[in-house]
Amino acid sequence: MMKLIDGGICAAKGYKAAGVHCGIRKNHSKKDLSLILSEVPASAAAVYTTNLVKGAPLTVTKAHLENGIARAVICNSGNANTCNANGLEIAEQMCALAGQALSIAPEDVVVASTGVIGQPLDIAPIAAGIPELAEHLSTEGSAEAAEGIMTTDTVLKEVAVEFELGGRTCRLGGIAKGSGMIHPNMATMLVFLTTDAAIAPAMLKKALSTDIQATFNMLSIDGDTSTNDMVTVLANGLAGNPEITAEGDDFNAFMAALNTVTVHLCRMIAGDGEGATKLLECVVTGAADIQTARTVAKSVVCSSLLKAAMFGADANWGRVLCAIGYSGADVDVNRVDVAFKSPKGVIPVCKNGAGIPFSEEKAKEILLEKEIEILVNLNSGETSSTAWGCDLTYDYVKINGDYRT
CATH of the domain at 262: 3.60.70.12
| Same-domain pairing of 247 and 291 | no
Tell me the C-alpha distance between 292 and 305, whole Å: 21
Domain boundary among the residues 236, 271, 306 is at: 271
User: pLDDT tens digits for 96-139?
Assistant: 999 999 999 999 999 999 888 888 899 999 999 999 999 999 99
Q: What pLDDT score was predicted for residue 26?
A: 85
H-state helical runs in 116-248: 123-135, 142-148, 201-214
| Same-domain pairing of 192 and 92 | yes
| Same-domain pairing of 151 and 251 | yes
**Of the ranges 50-59, 80-89, 177-186, the best mean pLDDT one:** 80-89
DSSP 3-state assignment of 367? Answer: helix
Tell me the C-alpha distance between 308 and 322, whole Å: 14
Residue of higher predicted confidence among 228 and 350: 350
Domain boundary among the residues 221, 255, 271 is at: 271
Residue-averaged pLDDT of the chain: 91
User: How would residue 29 be classed by pLDDT, with cut points 50, 70 and 90?
Assistant: confident
User: How would residue 182 be classed by pLDDT, with cut points 50, 70 and 90?
Assistant: very low
Residue 382, domain extent: 279-401
| Same-domain pairing of 48 and 192 | yes
H-state helical runs in 136-239: 142-148, 201-214
| Same-domain pairing of 119 and 135 | yes
pTM for the model: 0.88
Query: Number of structural domains, the chain?
Result: 2
Domain boundary among the residues 247, 271, 295 is at: 271
Q: Which of 188, 232, 295, 386 is catalytic?
A: 188
User: pLDDT tens digits for 327-340?
Assistant: 999 999 999 999 99
Half-sphere exposure of 24 (CA within 13 A, CB side): 33
| Same-domain pairing of 86 and 143 | yes
| Same-domain pairing of 265 and 362 | no
Tell me the C-alpha distance between 281 and 269, whole Å: 12
| Same-domain pairing of 255 and 332 | no
pLDDT at 222 over 60: no
Half-sphere exposure of 71 (CA within 13 A, CB side): 16
Tell how strand 158-165 and strand 168-177 pair up: antiparallel
User: How would residue 169 be classed by pLDDT, with cut points 50, 70 and 90?
Assistant: very high
Closest Cα to residue 34, out of 22, 20, 14, 24? 20
pLDDT at 164 over 70: yes
Closest Cα to residue 152, out of 82, 215, 222? 222
Query: How far lies 120's CA from each of 1, 96, 253, 377, in Å?
Result: 49, 19, 44, 49
Phi and psi (nearest 5°) for 325? -65, -35
What is the arithmetic mean of pLDDT over 371-393?
Answer: 95
Tell me the C-alpha distance between 13 and 280, whole Å: 35
| Same-domain pairing of 33 and 97 | yes
Please report, rounded to a whole number, the percentage of residues in the chain having pLDDT higher than 90.
77
What is the arithmetic mean of pLDDT over 34-47?
Answer: 97
| Same-domain pairing of 265 and 289 | no
User: How would residue 1 be classed by pLDDT, with cut points 50, 70 and 90?
Assistant: confident
Active site residue 285: no
User: How would residue 221 be classed by pLDDT, with cut points 50, 70 and 90?
Assistant: low
Query: How far lies 80's CA from each of 136, 144, 156, 213, in Å?
Result: 24, 20, 19, 25
What is the arithmetic mean of pLDDT over 51-57?
Answer: 72
Can you give the CATH number for the domain in which 309 is found?
3.10.20.340
Q: What pLDDT score was predicted for residue 378?
A: 98
| Same-domain pairing of 80 and 121 | yes
User: How would residue 73 be classed by pLDDT, with cut points 50, 70 and 90?
Assistant: very high
| Same-domain pairing of 115 and 264 | yes
